[in-house]
Amino acid sequence: MQINQNKRKQRLILLSFLTSIVLSVLKFGAYYLTDSNAILSDALESIINVIASGFAFYSIYLSSQPKDSNHPYGHGKIEFFSAGFEGALIIIASCFIIYEAISRLLNPQPIENLGLGSIIILFTVLANGGIGYLLIHEGRKSNSLALVADGKHLLSDSVSSIILILSVGLILITGYSWLDSVASLLFGAFLIYSGSRLVTTSVALLMDATDPQMLDRTVDLLWRNKKEHWIDIHNLRVQQYGSDLHIDCHLTLPYYWELTEVHEAIHDFENILKGDSKGETEIFVHADPCLPECCSFCRMSSCPVRQEKFVQDIIWTQEKLVKNEKLYREVKNGFNK
């Protein structure tokens, strides 16, 4: 299953790479016909698409390689680096685009064949938009940041190309050729914003920043499937490495259980978490013995050593489960606050 998913990711990013090459050639052809600075900006940005898609293809290939002695957690983080690399290339290209736009504003040049050039750009909008949507959809299904980043890049390219076509229309209507350079400036500013977001996300994930949405999904999954012997969960950590997940936590179980019972309970706990993941999931569970203070929220109705009556569950939330302390401390402050 995982092998087929990796192959599909590689085929998708290869499609993006080959399409980017074809569209780059078309955009430079449109620039040759029109001598439009805005179209040149779009063409230069398409070179970034080619480089970024090529690097993304390599990163997805590398992330699918099995763990080894030098990379015990796998190679998935290369996808985060790939997204940051793509963002950095976008920012560099945008700086060049803004420089060219300012130069053209100071030294205007005649623009020709805008109608034909716009038709070519419209075709690239449709191609980039379709492939970009597909990459984002499949990337989110497989938790692949490299696919999502490349897809968002293509979609942003489509949006910017639409703005470009609108600016060309205004030039044809008004005859103001300086609008071409203004559109190029706006395009460059949009690319800086888009590239900065990619770099910020990449750095955060490389630094193992917590993904609140992913953590919430994990907590919700555990709460919906809670067993009566899952007395307490704390010190929960969920990290993504490419399309793979790494989860570790402390699970409190009845202190009087034998080792075989503890082993089976942890095994079932892991299977529930793995069953909800589309990629590989590696789980480390530290088993803790229950304490008398846990009786008030322990649902073990047949517990032979209960010292206090069950009062009510402590509702599991992200804020509570990530703490490195047992939930019985919540009781001191009142339930479910």
Q: Based on C-alpha coordinates, what's the Rg of the chain?
A: 27
Question: Token pair of 334, please?
Answer: 């009142």
Residue 269 has a pLDDT of 95
Q: Is the pLDDT of residue 3 over 70?
A: no
Fold of 212-332: Alpha-Beta Plaits (3.30.70)
Q: Is the pLDDT of residue 16 over 60?
A: yes
Q: Is the pLDDT of residue 237 over 80?
A: yes
Residue type, 15: L
Question: Token pair of 45, please?
Answer: 């940005």
**What ranges do the domains of the chain cover?**
2-206, 212-332
pLDDT digits (tens, 9 = 90+) for 114-127: 667 777 878 888 88
Q: How far apart are CA 124 and CA 231, in angstroms?
A: 57
At 265, the pLDDT band (50, 70, 90 cuts) reads very high
Q: How far apart are CA 6 and CA 144, in angstroms?
A: 10
Which pTM was predicted? 0.66
Q: pLDDT higher for 289 or 335?
A: 289
Residue 329 has a pLDDT of 61
Torsions phi, psi of 258, nearest 5?
Answer: -80, 165
Q: How far apart are CA 198 and CA 226, in angstroms?
A: 37
Q: pLDDT higher for 46 or 17?
A: 17
At 242, the pLDDT band (50, 70, 90 cuts) reads low
CATH number of 2-206: 1.20.1510.10
For residue 235, give every residue at least 6 positions away whose Cβ sits within 8 Å of its Cβ, in sequence order, or none: 248, 249, 250, 286, 322, 323, 324
User: Contact at 8 Å (CB) between 155 and 51?
Assistant: no
Residue 285 has a pLDDT of 94
Across residues 278-294, what is the average pLDDT?
Answer: 86
pLDDT digits (tens, 9 = 90+) for 153-189: 787 777 777 777 777 777 777 777 777 677 778 877 8
pLDDT digits (tens, 9 = 90+) for 64-107: 777 777 877 777 788 788 778 878 887 887 787 787 778 767 77
